[in-house]
Structure 1
């Protein structure tokens, strides 16, 4: 039997054979680990960790080897030397990440670039927008504000392309199909910057001005090129889940055009947070745009909650299909869910339900669910500590005690076993590598990964001790962690350079969550008396290791005159224009229409779990515009139409680069005002169709189409250092081999 066919069964056997209680039962029903034993060490599936307390620090005996950790500027004093040592370890690794220069093989040919920054990890010696920004949002902004500002500034850029209006923009790093706007989560930068703009010193004021200019310019650019007015959502890839074969349908390996036109939960939440920041900063500056930013943010909040919520699963979907074919996917990701909850987009009832429905194993929470078959371990079948930290934040926001405890234990166990805050872990074993033939992994793993370090620091400071950025102390500590953290003590203490926070055990432990009661002292030395509360009952689903069925091929359509006949196997659903069609399991008849109709199939397992959908097949009347640019076309009837072009873009590989071609299509139809939209043409190996520009026209009206220059990441001065492909050191490049222009009527009025 080949490796690919064997792997799903192997994975399930690992998950269920080693931890039987986690299969076929809820998390709450399973026997949890003995928290009290996690004081001088822990044992985990044949691997042991122990810690010694030294006069000037700790000695950690991890699976990866022995490590001595010096005492740090911050410390925790609990009944668990293991917990205290790992807090010191995270600080030591944060110091290791502070560098005077950064390097990457794709920039300046690997030569050092001066930057008093944070490098991303032991194997990632550069500054990447999303890695830095999530790490800063978690902990770096509060702990190292000056270096965090310097690192964030490195990702801001003016324009270098001749004849293009200047502005200040956040750089989207190299990515799928040539980067932005296929990858469009660069607004995560503002999630970090929001913590660093309210200071009174000169650098804070200067950074606030830089943030304001970058915010207004970047939001305007995304609104023009990424926002879809019909759905009210922003297009583009899921944030951080940017290795498409890991979490998108396999056919997107050669077709990122679909990703460019789809809608992702996480990326839309980041846009919402950026709009909220814009509203706040505009109000502070007396800028008239404050009301418009507020209106856009509220509309986006409603659209996100409506579009991504899947009632039958009780979860928010990770992404949905294109505007023409918005298929609901059986794909969920923990970061997107956590951001939606922490941002306040998810109503509290949906938030608690989703945190209970999102599956987990004792080892931790998978970053995607369900797992995808025949896919190597990286995002698939994996735990990422920084995502666990955002899950912890979301759980604290809605008092979900089981998930708070679960994420704290997972973060501790991972760092303890590896002796470092790793980039990721295999899901069922929490190991840094598992042999599974061609699917072994995690494929890439790095020690002291910056956002993992920040995740651990945030877990201790706010996740356990409840110290928020605003200085308020609001602990939400699960009762089940009391034996580990307090032991026989009546208090635990967090020592910071400028303050001390003491948590005291309550008189009674009758409840599941310890929260703040009476407080004593002042901001520099605060003691909080904990009280036990009983929260709304919550559990965690346990089928985290479950595989989705394999995606099917595109539907086969047979032309029967006035209809298209589609054969639908009994284990599949047919979707037409984003809605599930009623089928009898054998055939479906689709009446022909002048407008476009798009179809795809989803495979359904016996228990109802669905695959990601197969390739889309669209049918409908189509016409081709006449002549060279500007081209002419006559509308056959009143209606709304989509215009696309054939193109080839060979300026980079499909998985990276900065030269996705982005053009503005201008449509001038008789008796209509001029209409414009963006054509996105990503890297690819073959001739393909661009994204669509929607426009209105009246019957018999002649329309003229003109192409104007758009914008891509090669236009930014930041990428003058890029030597890993075209559009960098050799100058800006925003071009594709553009062929015929095609016009199709759409059903949307």
Structure 2
């Protein structure tokens, strides 16, 4: 038995009681009681919930822990449906699908929600529903004139969906666990090749070696991107996100493995090389040595943004993109609060609670996995308790919680929220189940048993017991602890397998916990107004409002007070400014301002141009795309701009024209020319999500039931010299 002194020390370390049958937080209390029949009753601020006996169970010293595991299974049963529906598809009529719905308020199947949920372990619990749901998110092409293939769908979203958002490759994160079914495996391999090839063509930037597109899951633009993207998401289409690039890295690794298994050594080598190069690029572009963290996203010219997100950080660690000391730094430098870890940091003082100022249990589960990867017992315990506490006090595995209170609603005027908060949210349900099976009992995704249990959790889980047990349909795992514990982390000393039953003897090792970062300021400073830039005989004069940090063409120039001059090698710069807070953290950037006047060409296609100087040029289009609102739809206009000069090999750059508010500039591409070159530009049709057969069922906007739509009103072609270098 643990000594009274050690018990007290462990309780002091956690700062809470042992949570045997109750959790008290913020003046509220949740209590769990158990019946001999295996049923549980949870009471709390939400009222009362009776929970039936479930097919899986845990037997620990904590009735609360055991009962919440049963509640997560009950939530999953309610999410297990035979039909789904969404107001934007088939006019809201039920669509047959023996699959998982996303939550009480989201009775549909969404690519990212489902894929993360499956990766968090649902593939083991109901492989049929997991496969069916993933299959529902695959589609062939309905337009015979478009390139044919089998593609993962990017759901309706920012500016008309893909390629503003490009995290659809998360589908493969879930699918990789279900390849024992040959038909599904064949579809996965085909979709993997077609989807990666399409992203390589339209979303990959060879200069930076990164994929463009929005942060994964953080898809409410104003919450995480600069406020000026609310009405113009071209910046997002041009930018690069950590999480989305890590997902592409993992998809490329899977492609290399599957190509090898299919006997295609050349393809396997190619995918492996792409993955390795991408990993190098992610570490070169996103890592901030001064912060010891990976940035959440960077601008299209490489401009660093002093903003971070927990999912991207956790995925970088668990995928192996962050290795060695960087993995530990990235997670330990990410701030947290007593209730849990925010999904973004710093927060936005002008935005309501949703992704902003919020804890999302599924992200906490990935943070827990990352903490296991670096053997950080304090972070493991912190994320585990956050997942438990939220479920207990709300009576369900909710979509999200307010950061400070862990409440499902906080009244804060126009900033009140969470704005939406669904019970039994699928990835939150998966998070709880994964926290138990992997986070406590150590059952990894590949079937190994590798517990990494913080000693600080022994009072809650073991109490006076010598062992705790997880009973699953196909196996059981029993953890045995020693009486004398000298260390910080319990790991397996010995694993004995008796048929489907595993007996694990634990030992304590020294894995000194990094101190949780709890001293960070909550909010970033408000961003400054856009600067002005003019030319005079001294160079390019920049004028800003007060003390700011100046950036030009992706490079940090430094602090200025009011005005300064920059040269940028004689090329007209594109500049933005940030404002520093008292802790040194910078605001999001002001709008970007580009100096000089571009050449404007408005002839019919093909359009002709003579290069005035040797060098690199930015090419873009004026356009208007009024086919849908800024925040949703599938009709982002995607074209391929082809430049041919003096018979040389044509240069091809994708041009993205998201839904717009009036006329604006498209995404840009970079071309290289020699002085005097006679160049011809042509515009070829590209591909968007409306080309997929699946979206024939889309009734919530254009490009759906009435047929594919990939078009915009196109104006001038704009050409300007750039100082950007590869």
TM-score interval for Structure 1 and Structure 2 normalised by the shorter chain: over 0.9
Out of 406-415 and 689-698, give the one that drifted further.
689-698
Q: Is the 8 A contact 2:643 2:679 kept in 1?
A: yes
Map 1:370-389 to 2 at 5 A. Answer: 370-389=346-365
Q: Does 1:281 align with 2:258?
A: yes
Map 1:199-238 to 2 at 5 A. Answer: 199=180, 204-238=181-215
Per-residue deviation, 1:580: 1.8
Q: Does 1:293 align with 2:271?
A: yes
Q: What secondary structure is seen at the aligned counterpart in 2 of 1:477?
A: strand
Map 1:320-719 to 2 at 5 A. Answer: 320-323=298-301, 326-543=302-519, 546-591=522-567, 595-620=571-596, 622-625=598-601, 627-719=603-695
Structure 1 residues 127-175: Cα deviation after superposition (integer angstroms, max 9, x where no partner): 0000000000001111111110000000000001131121000000000
Q: Does 1:65 align with 2:47?
A: yes
Per-residue deviation, 1:521: 3.4
Q: Is the 8 A contact 1:563 1:591 kept in 2?
A: yes
Partner of 2:719: 743
Q: What secondary structure is seen at the aligned counterpart in 1 of 2:711?
A: coil
Q: In structure 2, do the counterparts of structure 1 residues 723 and 37 end up closer, same or farther at CA, with 3 Å as the change threshold? A: same
CA distance in 1, matches of 2:164, 2:204: 12
Q: Specify which of 282, 286, 302 is matched with residue 304 of structure 1.
A: 282
Q: In structure 2, do the counterparts of structure 1 residues 612 and 29 end up closer, same or farther at CA, with 3 Å as the change threshold? A: farther
Partner of 1:271: 248
Q: Does 1:43 align with 2:24?
A: yes
Q: Is the 8 A contact 1:384 1:425 kept in 2?
A: yes
Partner of 2:223: 246
Q: Does 1:161 align with 2:143?
A: yes
Out of 431-440 and 463-472, give the one that drifted further.
463-472
Q: Is the 8 A contact 1:50 1:60 kept in 2?
A: yes
Per-residue deviation, 1:637: 1.7
Per-residue deviation, 1:371: 0.5
CA distance in 2, matches of 1:540, 1:571: 32
Q: Specify which of 95, 99, 107 is matched with residue 113 of structure 1.
A: 95
CA distance in 2, matches of 1:524, 1:596: 68
Per-residue deviation, 1:555: 0.6
CA distance in 2, matches of 1:748, 1:174: 32
Gaps of 5+ in 2: 1-8
Q: What secondary structure is seen at the aligned counterpart in 2 of 1:37?
A: coil
CA distance in 2, matches of 1:525, 1:30: 32
Runs of 4+ in 1 over 4 A off after TM superposition: 28-36
Q: What secondary structure is seen at the aligned counterpart in 2 of 1:270?
A: helix
Number of matched residues? 715
Partner of 1:18: none
CA distance in 2, matches of 1:83, 1:34: 18
Per-residue deviation, 1:525: 1.4
Q: Specify which of 152, 164, 171 is matched with residue 170 of structure 1.
A: 152
Q: What secondary structure is seen at the aligned counterpart in 2 of 1:439?
A: coil
Q: In structure 2, do the counterparts of structure 1 residues 586 and 553 end up closer, same or farther at CA, with 3 Å as the change threshold? A: closer
Q: Is the 8 A contact 1:501 1:525 kept in 2?
A: yes
Q: In structure 2, do the counterparts of structure 1 residues 626 and 190 end up closer, same or farther at CA, with 3 Å as the change threshold? A: same
Per-residue deviation, 1:686: 1.8
CA distance in 1, matches of 2:490, 2:12: 21
CA distance in 2, matches of 1:650, 1:32: 57
Q: Is the 8 A contact 1:665 1:676 kept in 2?
A: yes
Q: Is the 8 A contact 1:598 1:616 kept in 2?
A: yes
Q: Is the 8 A contact 1:35 1:481 kept in 2?
A: no
Structure 1 residues 377-432: Cα deviation after superposition (integer angstroms, max 9, x where no partner): 00000000000000000000110111000011000000000010000000000000
Q: What secondary structure is seen at the aligned counterpart in 1 of 2:119?
A: helix
Partner of 1:86: 68
CA distance in 2, matches of 1:360, 1:312: 19
Q: What secondary structure is seen at the aligned counterpart in 2 of 1:518?
A: strand
Q: What secondary structure is seen at the aligned counterpart in 1 of 2:167?
A: coil
Per-residue deviation, 1:586: 3.5
CA distance in 1, matches of 2:547, 2:10: 32
Map 1:13-24 to 2 at 5 A. Answer: none
Q: What secondary structure is seen at the aligned counterpart in 2 of 1:455?
A: helix
Per-residue deviation, 1:625: 2.8
Q: Is the 8 A contact 1:595 1:621 kept in 2?
A: no
Q: Is the 8 A contact 1:237 1:260 kept in 2?
A: yes
Q: What secondary structure is seen at the aligned counterpart in 2 of 1:177?
A: helix
CA distance in 1, matches of 2:553, 2:103: 44
Q: What secondary structure is seen at the aligned counterpart in 1 of 2:160?
A: coil
User: RMSD in angstroms over aligned alpha carbons?
Assistant: 1.6
Q: Is the 8 A contact 1:602 1:610 kept in 2?
A: yes
Partner of 1:7: none
Q: What secondary structure is seen at the aligned counterpart in 2 of 1:470?
A: coil
Per-residue deviation, 1:123: 0.2
CA distance in 2, matches of 1:704, 1:567: 37
Map 1:72-151 to 2 at 5 A. Answer: 72-151=54-133
Out of 693-702 and 647-656, give the one that drifted further.
693-702
CA distance in 2, matches of 1:543, 1:650: 46
CA distance in 2, matches of 1:733, 1:107: 17
Q: What secondary structure is seen at the aligned counterpart in 1 of 2:591?
A: coil
Q: What secondary structure is seen at the aligned counterpart in 1 of 2:682?
A: strand
Per-residue deviation, 1:42: 1.3
Per-residue deviation, 1:745: 1.7
Q: What secondary structure is seen at the aligned counterpart in 2 of 1:136?
A: helix
Q: In structure 2, do the counterparts of structure 1 residues 300 and 704 end up closer, same or farther at CA, with 3 Å as the change threshold? A: same
CA distance in 1, matches of 2:229, 2:10: 39
Q: Is the 8 A contact 1:119 1:450 kept in 2?
A: yes
Q: Is the 8 A contact 1:594 1:745 kept in 2?
A: no
Structure 1 residues 233-270: Cα deviation after superposition (integer angstroms, max 9, x where no partner): 00000000000110111111111000000000000000
Per-residue deviation, 1:621: 5.1
CA distance in 2, matches of 1:418, 1:506: 35
Per-residue deviation, 1:75: 0.4
Q: Is the 8 A contact 2:569 2:723 kept in 1?
A: no
Q: In structure 2, do the counterparts of structure 1 residues 471 and 30 end up closer, same or farther at CA, with 3 Å as the change threshold? A: closer
Q: What secondary structure is seen at the aligned counterpart in 2 of 1:322?
A: coil
Per-residue deviation, 1:558: 3.8
Structure 1 residues 209-230: Cα deviation after superposition (integer angstroms, max 9, x where no partner): 0000000000000000000000
